[in-house]
Structure formats: structure tokens, C-alpha cells
Amino acid sequence: MDNGRAERESHWAEWMTAAQGGDRDAYERLLNELSIAVRGRLRRRLRNPDDAEDVVQEVLLTVHRVRHTYDPARPFSPWLAAIIDRRTVDLFRRQGRQQRNETVDEEATVTFPDLRANHSLEADDAKTEVADLLRSLPPGQRQAVELLKLQELTLREAADSTGLSETALKVAVHRALKTLRTRLTAYRGKPLEPK
Amino acid sequence: MTIRPRPSTAALVQALVIDASPVQRLRSPGIRALLWLITVGMAAAATVFAITGLAVFKAGASSSLAFSEWWAMLATGAIGITAAHHLAIPGHSRHWRTAAWWPLALWFALAVAGCLSGAGPLRWTDGSNLWHYLECFGFVVGCGVPLAIVLAGSLRRALPVWPVDTAIQGCLGAGALAMAFMRFFHPLDLSVIDLASHFTALTLVASVGALRATATLLP
């Protein structure tokens, strides 16, 4: 290990030790440096900068949550590297899950018997309508839907990122979906078919 | 439709800094494993004493092989629990993921040797009925699973970045300890069916642990 890197890691270890004792300045320095270092490391692995930024944030959240597990008697790098690896694997798994759930509609561009389906503008309108409906939800319910249904976070992840309890999130999602269902029914003029 | 209201990383850092209260550092995994083993050992000893009294502690094993097998079980238990605690801390060596396999191999070898020992042919059974073997199986699963659940509570205080490896080591440990505990209520017979029922139970506990690992251990 070159001297610069060794020195940097020794700072990180020192700042983390101080942060464990409640030193917010040291913690801020550490997190700022870590976000740069982790981003640099991830950009070599992940082509999509958005994905890299997602993982950077996941890593920072995890570092925050498990900062009590860092032992100052041990080097900082392996501790951080294990967290980065874990969160990168999580991203790949999440993407794999999303890809499995997506279906390619080969006939998306052909004419359908339902006239409404042939108007792409109408489809865009529907998207806008749904987005508007989402925006019309109370902030707590909207946030719960976005985290749990759109970003597909687990309840625990969502609870950690919002500070709300898992039960509160479940209730918020339930209420949000009920409201959306009612409003969409009003928009379409007929009840939605249950899945 | 994609809505990703991700806060900026700078904003996230600020939020985390505001939330940065002092934390109590986790003890070293070796110490935590030792404390866990002592606690479970004391609870097990108290249970045995309450049920059977002191006599069972004084009773000798049926053979030196059976006694060695019991020690191999204890070693598998202690090493599995220690390995799980190490694996649960980010940055600790992944070599721990094979730690419990070695005493387990020794235990298996001793059990097989027990089946082959004596002047007679291979001992398929010890003459007990099927219910006896089911009881063994049930005891190991019924005692190993709760131990594994208690262990998961301890492991979740850290961050098992490789949850499946961690769970397998921990469940092997918990299952082996359950089996060592069983010795006080049930003789360690050295027969093929006994061996099969013990190792099937252990495999079941480890498999359930591996299947539930990510959901249970990973925050």
C-alpha cells in the first residue's frame, strides 16, 4: 500500500473512531471522503452512473447503521470493502429481479381492437394521470408507495431510510393503494379488475 | 413510469451526520461468541440438573468412542458459533465459512468408527424402535432451531454481509450443541440409523438456516 493511501485510511479509521464517540465533524469528513472514494471505486464496476450513485448511498446508509461494528484495532479498508461488495451484490440481485418481472411486449406497436390502446398520446395521458394521482397523495403515503412499490425496497430498508416504523409504512401503503384504486376507478369509469 | 425521488448524496450525508449519536462499539466476535456459549451452556446445565439431578453428570459414557464423539459435537458447536460471529462482522476473514466443517468431519468419522467397532458386523440399529429414532430427530430439530433463532438475534446486531455462510456455520453450531445436550437424556448409540437420524436432523437445521439467511440476518 502506498503512503498516501495508508495515510488516508488511517484518517478514516481515526474519524470513524471519533464518530463512534459522537464527533459529528469527524463523521461528516469521513462520509464526504467515503462518498468520493466509493463512487470512484464503483464507477469502475458499474457502467451506469445512476446505479453507482444508488450504491454509494446504500453504502453510506449501511456504514451509518453498522458503525458500531468497526473495531479501531483492525484496518478500515476490509470493513468498508465488505459493505461495498454486499451492497453491489444487492443491486445486481434487485436488477435481476426487476428484469425477471418485466415482460417484452412484441405486439406493442400493432393495432389493437380497443381504440383507446391505439393512441399513444392517450397512453402518455394515462401515465401523466397516474403520476398526478401519486402526487395528489399525502406526502407520507406517496413516499411509502415510491419506496416500497416503485423502488422495490424492503420494508426494513424503507423504514431505515425514512425513520418510520415498518408498521407505519405498511399502513401508509395500504391507504395509498386504496386511495389510488378509488381515484383510478373514478378516472376509468369502471371498477378495476382485481389481479 | 419511473419516479425516483433520490435525495442528493450531500443531503444524505447531512442527514446522517445530524443522526450521528454516540454508539457503543460491539465487543470482539470471539468474546461475544464465548459469552453466548457460556450463557447457553449454563442454561443447558441448569435444565439438565433440574430434570435429572447430578447423577447424569457423573455417569460415564458407554465407550471411549462415544465420549470422543460427544467432544467432537461440542467442538463443532463452539467453532460453528464462533465462526458465525466472526462472519457477521464486515471485513473479517471469509475462511471462517469452513471452520465448523473440520470438527464436523471428525465427529462424522468417529460416529462411523463407532458403527464399525466391535467384533460383530456393522451395527445397523441398537435394537430400538422407530419411535426412538424419531425422538432423537425431533429433539435435535426442536432444540437446534430455537438455539439458531437466539443466535440470529445476536448475529443481527452486526451485519452478516455473507448471510448464507454465516447461517450455515451458526446452524451447524446450534444443531451440534443441541445434539451434545441430548446426550444427557438419551445415550449416544453408535449405529447406522442413529447416525443417519442425527445427521439428517443437523442437515435440516442447517438447510432451513441457509434458506432463511438473507431475510433473517441481512438488514
Cα separation, A17 vs A23, whole angstroms: 9
- Tell me if B36 sits within 8 A of B81, measured CB to CB: yes
For residue B39, give the 3-state DSSP assignment. helix
Cα separation, A150 vs B4, whole angstroms: 8
Per-residue pLDDT at A186: 67
Between B146 and A142, the more confident residue is B146
Cα separation, B94 vs A82, whole angstroms: 10
Query: Cβ of A68 and B24 within 8 Å?
Result: yes
Between B56 and A44, the more confident residue is A44
**Locus of grid cell 433463532:** B149
Residue B98 DSSP class: G
Smallest CA–CA distance, residue A191 to chain B, in Å, is: 22
Residues in A closer than 8 angstroms to B13, CB to CB, are: 28, 31-32, 35, 60
- The cell numbers describing A78, all together, are 476490509
For A69, which of B1, B7, B158 is closest by C-beta distance?
Answer: B158
Smallest CA–CA distance, residue B13 to chain A, in Å, is: 6
Least confidently predicted of A76-80, A171-175, B42-46, B123-127: B123-127
Least confidently predicted of B15-24, B72-81, B105-114, B183-192: B183-192
Per-residue pLDDT at B1: 47
CA angle, B87 then B91 then B92, to 5°? 45
Each residue's pLDDT, cut to its tens digit, for chain A (195 residues) gives 567 788 888 999 999 999 999 999 999 999 999 999 999 988 888 888 888 999 999 999 999 999 999 999 999 999 999 999 999 998 988 888 877 776 666 555 555 556 555 555 555 556 666 777 787 787 788 888 888 888 778 888 888 878 787 877 887 888 788 778 777 776 555 555 544
Per-residue pLDDT at A114: 60
Closest CA in chain B for residue A134: B3
Burial B200-216 (b: 16+ CB within 10 A, else e): ebbebbbebbbebbeeb
Question: Which amino acid does the sequence have at A23?
Answer: D
Residues 10-29 of A with CB under 8 A from B: 19-22, 24, 27-28
Per-residue pLDDT at A173: 82
Query: Cβ of B1 and A130 within 8 Å?
Result: yes
Mutate to test the interface with A, among B12, B21, B155, B217 (most CBs of A within 10 A): B12
Q: How many CB pairs under 8 A join A and B?
A: 104
For B89, which of A35, A56, A69 is closest by C-beta distance?
Answer: A69
Among the listed residues B184, B130, B1, B161, the one whose alpha carbon sits nearest the alpha carbon of residue A132: B1
- Tell me if B190 sits within 8 A of B123, measured CB to CB: yes
> How many residues appear in chain A?
195
DSSP string, A19-50: HHTT-HHHHHHHHHHHHHHHHHHHHHH-S-HH
Contacts 24+ apart (CB under 8 A), A123-127: A127/B1
Cα separation, A121 vs A131, whole angstroms: 15
Does the pLDDT at position B50 exceed 50?
A: yes
- The cell numbers describing B176, all together, are 451440534
Average pLDDT, rounded, for chain B: 85
Instruction: Write the pLDDT tens digit of every residue in B76-96.
Output: 999 999 999 999 999 999 899
**Residue A132 CB burial class (10 angstroms; 0-12, 13-18, ≥19):** exposed
DSSP string, A109-177: TS--SSGGGG-HHHHHHHHHHHHHHHHHS-HHHHHHHIIIIIS---HHHHHHHH---HHHHHHHHHHHH
Smallest CA–CA distance, residue A65 to chain B, in Å, is: 9
For B22, which of A22, A54, A151 is closest by C-beta distance?
Answer: A22
Per-residue pLDDT at A195: 43
- The cell numbers describing B172, all together, are 451447524
Query: Cβ of A28 and B158 within 8 Å?
Result: no
Does the pLDDT at position B24 exceed 80?
A: yes
Cα separation, B191 vs B195, whole angstroms: 6
Closest CA in chain A for residue B7: A57
